[in-house]
Amino acid sequence: MNYEINKEIVFSTGHITENDSQELTWCHNGISGKEVTTYQYEYGFRVWVDPNLEIKEFTELSASFWELFEIAKEQKCKWLILDEDGVTYENLKQFDW
């Protein structure tokens, strides 16, 4: 039997800006009209890593968010998880909000 297994990558919400958090909340609530599929939960966000999504279409999200999104694509992940308890990596930009 072949079961579907989804791969995800987890980063701390400290790697996105406060504005990114607001934009992702709007995406979750369907307010933004954007095609970034986001599910908000108590401690962060699940973002579907759409392999066809063009970054230039969404300038409201920071370059730091898109760097995480691209890492997820490169790693062939289906989901980008942004969690307040996720790992903070020294090689990535960090925000204190």
Quote the number of domains for the chain. Answer: 1
Give tens-digit pLDDT for 28-87: 665 555 668 889 999 999 999 988 887 766 668 899 999 999 999 999 999 999 999 999
Tell me how far the alpha carbon of residue 43 is from its chain's centroid: 13
Q: Is residue 36 part of a domain?
A: yes
Is pLDDT at 94 greater than 80 in this prediction?
A: yes
Q: Is residue 26 part of a domain?
A: yes
Of 35 and 21, the structure prediction assigns the larger pLDDT to 21
- pLDDT for res 60: 83
Q: Is residue 1 part of a domain?
A: no
**C-alpha–C-alpha distance, residues 83 and 32, integer Å:** 21
